[in-house]
Structure 1
Amino acid sequence: MQDVPAPSRWFRAAVHSVRTATTVAALTLLVGFGAISVITPPPPSAPSQQIGMSSGPLDDLMQRNRCSYTGFDRTVIPSTAIVRRPDGATELVSFDRGWAVFTGQADGELVAVCLGPEAAAGVLR
């Protein structure tokens, strides 16, 4: 049998350097991705999620009054609005009151604007 020569000193140093560089790069990426996840703010949530009433009474109120969180076309003027009072209660108010809340002239938070309930078939307004 033939003796296999031991790896040279430079070869061992090269392997050690590559292994160390790989470890340092992996740790740097790990720390970098962790920092990005801490720095990046979460995406904005829908208004229904912000007020914590995405189902139940608010959905029913919005459906009955044909409401929208984002508004309507410029040619459409809403008749009512849903606002959240400072005490946390949510209520259906006139569009003028909703506008006052939106512009900061009244306390509360504008949740949605509404067209009002649909007129019953055959009933004139």
Structure 2
Amino acid sequence: MSDVRIQWLRTAATSLRTALTAAALTLLLGFGAASVLSAPQPPAAQVDLSAEDEPTSRLMERHQCSTTGFEPGVIPATAIIRDQAGRTRLVSFEQGWAVFNDERPGELVAVCLGRPRAGGR
């Protein structure tokens, strides 16, 4: 075989090997990205509030409170906060929101719908 033909075969083989390597790496990255994108995502972060004592638990029951919030579009009427002395108090939702946003001292314990109305309405 002539030197030109051998050189051409080497160039073709090198080009083919380079193209196959690039294609394999592209597929590998594509499959990796697809698996990351299709993996189940954790739910949106929920604030895990805490109610530790019996009086707070009764207060939460009376005022239909939740430590994880309500469905989208449901706006709580009140909130339970724990002040710096460790006492829990029922406050307006606006005051609870200010505590949650660190605009007021304390800790948000729960958000509440308020007392059920007489007659179940």
Same fold (TM over 0.5): yes
Partners of 1:46 and 1:121 in 2: CA distance? 30
Q: TM-score, normalised on structure 2?
A: 0.57
Distance 1:47 1:81 in 2: 13
Identity of aligned residues (%): 51
Does the alignment pair 1:68 with 2:66? yes
Instruction: Give the corresponding residue for 2:112.
Output: 114
**How big is the shift at 1:47?**
1.7
Pairwise CA RMSD of aligned residues?
1.9
Are residues 86 and 61 of structure 1, via their aligned partners in 2, closer, same or farther at CA, if it must alter by over 3 Å? same
* Residue of structure 1 equivalent to 2:88: 90
Q: Which residue of structure 2 lines up, in the alignment, with residue 20 of structure 1?
A: none
TM-score normalized by the length of structure 1:
0.55
Count of aligned pairs between the two proteins: 74
- For residues 108 and 46 of structure 1, what CA distance do their matches in structure 2 show? 12
1:48-77 deviation per Cα after TM superposition (whole angstroms, max 9, x unaligned): 3xxx32xx2111100000000000011100
Unaligned 5+ segments in structure 1 are 1-44
The worse-fitting range, judged by mean Cα deviation, of 56-65 and 93-102 is: 56-65
The question of whether the paired residues in 1 share the 8 Å contact of 2:49 and 2:68 is answered with: no
Name the structure 2 match of 1:47: 50
One-letter amino acid of the counterpart of residue 50, structure 2: P
Structure 1 segments (4+ residues) deviating >6 Å: none
Corresponding residue for residue 103 of structure 1: 101
What secondary structure is seen at the aligned counterpart in 1 of 2:110?
A: strand
- Cα drift, residue 110 of structure 1: 0.2
For residue 61 of structure 1, give the secondary structure of its aligned residue in structure 2. helix
Aligned AA (1:80): T
